[in-house]
A = this chain, B = another copy of it.
């Protein structure tokens, strides 16, 4: 362990990227290494194994590739759908819209079960849709960061198993892996895709996807070639398997430093303290603290039904007469970086606070207190400034 300390900086509490531990940043500054070297091979191999641990799966195949979370959608579309294949997408916001657009770009026929703004898709409607038509796969955004809506992954997977057991269950876990519990094997999930910069506590730049054996079989059974080169599992499966077994293989140069960083973060998450279970509990507790504090300030939140509230972020409506430019810059003056809205029809109505990773897993940092007190002060200042105007 080095004594590296990152530069003093504003507290970054948007729904990703998130605050990154000194050890992880130091790993990102690792001297340049050959991607084929005996030193690096086990680092990627360990990342593959630890990615499985985070999702409680023993048999699924992880893919760790240079790219953003978005690239996971392309992997799903290119490897698991063929033009004309039917997909059911449960749309709970901005990221649902875009996942649908990606699937259609590859020729899939996408039907949507659209949730109301600030709600998750209705499971009765989902069951009805699955009954009415045969879908090759069902996909949903686990946490749509545009609305703070957490979909019930376990219940959705159960519904699929009951109504249409051959349909693959694909989870966009970009803003949930590492901050929300996902029991890949136990719940019967087929694919989880995510990125490095949220609950996984690593700088952005890694597309991380985990495909269960049913998904791999569906990919193997396709009749047309994969509609991508860089995203083709045909290329990546042998590479991932080789690194896991301890030998190098080449398709495209892996982002070596980011993989060192991811390794450092995964080691904290899977082997450190708090344990993985405790980590999820800490996310729930921190989320409750933030949401209670926001409610105590008299502010409305998204989602409207707290049963669908994500544990890694909070979306808050501006009160009457107050807008983003009254709050976000005042938070910034207090060294706290929050995010504006992103939903296409409502983006000016609310702001977003992220609380994932070390911000919640290392409570001695005091990040949650800092967020709450900065928000309280910023809001008071904003109201005072309106009154005096």
Contact = CB atoms under 8 A, between A and B. Distances in A.
Contacts of A325: none
Contact of A204 (B195, B229, B250, B257): B257
A226 interface: yes
B20 A230 contact: no
A45 B69 CA distance: 22
A181 interface: no
Interface stretch (A25-33, A209-217, A275-283): A25-33
B225 A105 contact: yes
A79 B211 CA distance: 28
A6 B72 CA distance: 33
Given A68-B230, A68-B253, A204-B255, A29 B34 contact: no
A246 interface: no
B253 A37 contact: no
A101 interface: yes
B17 A204 contact: no
A178 to B, nearest CB: 15
Chain A interface helix/strand/loop/mixed: loop
A102 interface: yes
A143 to B, nearest CB: 15
Contact of A68 (B66, B197, B337): B66
Contacts of A342: 250
Interface in A195-236: 195, 197, 203-205, 207, 225-232
Contacts of A250: 342
B31 A9 contact: yes
Given A205-B255, A225-B105, A256-B203, A230 B34 contact: no
Contacts of A101: 229
A232 B69 contact: no
Interface in A16-55: 16-20, 25-26, 28-37
Among A14, A16, A73, A252: residue with most chain B CB under 10 A: A252
B35 A17 contact: yes
A227 B25 contact: no
A217 to B, nearest CB: 22
Contacts of A34: 12, 14, 17, 337, 339
Contacts of A252: 68-71
Given A28-B257, A32-B19, A251 B70 contact: yes
Contacts of A36: 14, 339
Contacts of A33: 9, 12, 17
The 5 closest A-B pairs by CB, nearest first: A205-B255, A70-B252, A9-B31, A102-B229, A68-B252
10 contacts: A14-B36, A17-B253, A19-B32, A20-B31, A28-B257, A35-B204, A66-B66, A66-B68, A203-B255, A205-B257
